[in-house]
Structure 1
Amino acid sequence: MAGKTLLKSKDYANALIKFRGAYEQSKDPEVLWFMARCEQLLGHYTRVADLATQIEKHPSPLVTAADRQDARELAQAVASYISLMTIAVNEAGAQVFIDGEPRGSTPLKAPLRVDVGKRRVRIVKPGFRRYERVVEISGEKPLDLHVRLVRKVQSARLLVTAGPDELIALDGKVVGRERWEGTVPVGGHTLLVTAPGMLPKEREISLLDGEARRVGMALDTARPPRGGPVWVWTAAAAVLTAVAVGGIASIVHSELEPSRSSPDVNVIYPLR
């Protein structure tokens, strides 16, 4: 049997795959013992206990009373390497994974049996940020894990560049001078760049969720012509300049402050 050869060569994972296939075809209870041995060597004690129970209750006449007693003793031997974990999540319908394997959806009906040691817990639900954490299972007492999933805020990444000493306004609010980079909500936005004595430049943009956009907004070097509606632009520039002088130092504390790390935004161009 290929599984036995792999087991002897200490390739336990692939040996287990071979033994599983063999059992599916033959339903031979002896194969379950080899599967249990592989799981034990891989440190999967909950699976060892499950296989031992399966052997003990196997309907085949090939399973003797001694075999069933050995199976019970095996389950008892690995019991100290198994613990319980209770996972409570604030959202129903979230998928729970332990070490990459699905363990059910919330709310879970009962505590989960897990192997002692470090276990990776991952909980996912569409529209919410993924929860992932490595927990230490000591086996001394059950572990209670309370998880609060946070709803995703659809956002995009925006980088705006302007000329020297030119003010950048986003949706009517000054956010920076010469260069501004940050995370903004999806949808439409208005950019305005101004400088004293220069013609302002305005641009409407629309951003999609996860998009990264770079926008150049440097003003033309030519000064505005005399007459006409220049006073309107000059007044707008003066207002923005006054706002910038009084508040640009606090820009980094506004709600439009750039986020340097966002797991839900894929930046698709070099920003620097």
Structure 2
Amino acid sequence: MRSIHSRSLVGWVLALGLIDFGARAAPPAPPGNAVQAGVSDDEAEARAQFRVGVAHFNKQEYREALEAFRRSLWLKKNRNTMGNVASCLKQIGQYDDALEQYEEMRREYPKLPAKIEAIVAADMAELSGLVGTLAVAGDAPAGALLFIDDRLRGKLPLENPLRVSVGSRAVRVEKEGFAPLTMTVGVKAGEESVAELVAMSRKGRLVVGEKHNWVLRVELDGEDVGVTPWQGLVDAGQHKVRLHGLMGVEALAACEAPGGAAEEGAKVASGVEVASVKPYEETRVVLGAEEQDASLRVDSTPEGATVRIDARVVGKAPWEGRLPLGGHVIEVSAGGFFSAKQTVQLERRKQRELSMSLERRPDLVAGARAARNRKIGVGLTYGVGVAGLGVFAVAGGLALDKIKELDARCPNRQCPSTEAGNQRAAAALGTAATVGLLIGALGAVAGTGVLLLTRPESSKRRPDPRVSAGVGLGSFEVKGAF
């Protein structure tokens, strides 16, 4: 390969440069710092920087020479200064930039003298063998800055592969808000190399806003991540986004954007939107939230009744508050009254007023007292009846015994005078038994009457009771259905 440090080529370029500037120069000015007549300040400074560049180049201080030649070129465009810039770039190993400089020189000066054209063509042919091309693929974020060997080479995506000097090249891609992507690529002469970027963390930026500029909570994949406007790095892929929160009623009516998240007010929420996030790219999602509840007022008769909404106690009537849209079960209850329930359907931005009257329960104390008295009355009457029947059974049994004795002692029912006492005793026992039977029957009838007449109102609708009674010597039985 031909030597990169071509002093002969550089020499003629420098010589031509001096001749070129000399051809345009006016006659020498008097000694001192005065500017030569007919030479502008920029041209004079360009000439001075050119000479500085020549001095550095002769000392092989190519980077310093490059800076001086570029300052000269910036002050005054000159074909030979452009050639000197290309020579410096070649000497410091920036073959791709040197080749581009020669190409620009040809575009600016398409009709170069034959001698210069021949030298430039030869140098470009040599440089073409010292460069390859580089393409960027993989996780290459659009809009990112591409640096090669710490030199900015453009933005991604590239329209065409870049021409790059051969050798090991450090590739770095930077995008604001993301960690840079870096890798090293080996570039070969005349070949295209590909920098296949791989992100260590495949994240993208998600930006979430609300179309009314309301400050609402952001729910990302079911988790609260902050308030709108919100942005953050998330894993690449699909994410579910939803907004929810509270809005002051006045701000909601005026559709105003509050200064911060409201602590109370109407419930508002958006639908769920799926955001597709790509690595190293920004995805914007703007959701529109709508009011999700309505106002409800509950009054009760009597006042102060407990109000339950969907089985949850919310307070005492009169009660007023906001509830989610849709159906709700309202229940009102108070001591001494039957509870009342009603289902309401709440609609957006419509206030509902609900008045509920409770039916009084029967006097429980009076009912308990009546029940107790009823038990006592029934117990007493049945007790007297049982006692009477007991007397009947005992007296009747003794009377029968006396009668049997008399039958044994008095043939043909003719009793001597000595049995008069036994006859009177038998008669007395019979009378007692009869009286006991009458008392037992009256007690049973009276107890049954008290039972029927004092039964609660709730049982009066039942069918008529069926009662049967049986009386026998030494026993008494009452059966019935009530």
- 8 Å contact 1:23–1:32 — kept in the other structure? yes
- 8 Å contact 1:29–1:60 — kept in the other structure? no
1:65 aligns with one of 107, 114, 133: 114
CA gap 1:133/1:100 in 2 versus in 1, 3 angstroms: same
The question of 1:39 aligning with 2:89 is answered: yes
Alignment of 1:1-272 (within 5 A): 1-59=51-109, 63-90=112-139, 91-139=141-189, 141-149=191-199, 150-151=201-202
- 8 Å contact 1:129–1:152 — kept in the other structure? no
For the residues of structure 2 that align with 1:82 and 1:105, how far apart are their CA atoms? 21
For the residues of structure 2 that align with 1:49 and 1:144, how far apart are their CA atoms? 21
Letter in 1 for 2:109: P
For the residues of structure 2 that align with 1:105 and 1:54, how far apart are their CA atoms? 21
For the residues of structure 1 that align with 2:119 and 2:108, how far apart are their CA atoms? 13
For the residues of structure 2 that align with 1:8 and 1:72, how far apart are their CA atoms? 23
Tell me, what secondary structure is at the counterpart of 1:126? coil
* Structure with the larger RCO, 1 or 2 (CA within 8 Å, 6+ apart): 1
Tell me, what secondary structure is at the counterpart of 1:109? coil
* 1:140, distance to aligned residue in structure 2 (A): 5.4
CA gap 1:126/1:24 in 2 versus in 1, 3 angstroms: closer
Letter in 1 for 2:108: H
CA gap 1:94/1:80 in 2 versus in 1, 3 angstroms: same
- 8 Å contact 1:129–1:151 — kept in the other structure? no
CA gap 1:125/1:89 in 2 versus in 1, 3 angstroms: farther
* 1:89, distance to aligned residue in structure 2 (A): 4.0
* 1:41, distance to aligned residue in structure 2 (A): 0.8
- 8 Å contact 1:97–1:121 — kept in the other structure? yes
For the residues of structure 2 that align with 1:45 and 1:134, how far apart are their CA atoms? 18
For the residues of structure 2 that align with 1:68 and 1:131, how far apart are their CA atoms? 42
- 8 Å contact 1:127–1:151 — kept in the other structure? no
How many corresponding residue pairs?
A: 156
For the residues of structure 1 that align with 2:156 and 2:106, how far apart are their CA atoms? 31
Letter in 2 for 1:20: R
Tell me, what secondary structure is at the counterpart of 1:10? coil
- 8 Å contact 2:185–2:193 — kept in the other structure? no
For the residues of structure 2 that align with 1:32 and 1:140, how far apart are their CA atoms? 25
Q: Percent identity?
A: 25
Which region of structure 1 is more displaced relative to structure 2, 77-86 or 120-129?
Answer: 120-129
CA gap 1:107/1:57 in 2 versus in 1, 3 angstroms: closer
Deviations 1:78-106 (A, max 9, x none): 10111011101432222111011112222
Which segments of 5 or more consecutive residues in structure 2 lack a partner in the other structure? 1-50, 206-224, 226-482
For the residues of structure 1 that align with 2:114 and 2:64, how far apart are their CA atoms? 31
Deviations 1:44-78 (A, max 9, x none): 111221122223333387x3132223222221111
* 1:16, distance to aligned residue in structure 2 (A): 0.2
For the residues of structure 2 that align with 1:122 and 1:6, how far apart are their CA atoms? 32
Which region of structure 1 is more displaced relative to structure 2, 137-146 or 34-43?
Answer: 137-146
For the residues of structure 2 that align with 1:31 and 1:118, how far apart are their CA atoms? 30
CA gap 1:9/1:82 in 2 versus in 1, 3 angstroms: same
* 1:133, distance to aligned residue in structure 2 (A): 1.9
- 8 Å contact 2:146–2:154 — kept in the other structure? yes
Deviations 1:150-209 (A, max 9, x none): 35699xxxxxxxxxxxxxxxxxxxxxxxxxxxxxxxx9xxxxxxxxxxxxxxxxxxxxxx
For the residues of structure 1 that align with 2:69 and 2:57, how far apart are their CA atoms? 10
For the residues of structure 2 that align with 1:59 and 1:140, how far apart are their CA atoms? 27
Q: Which has the higher helix share?
A: 2
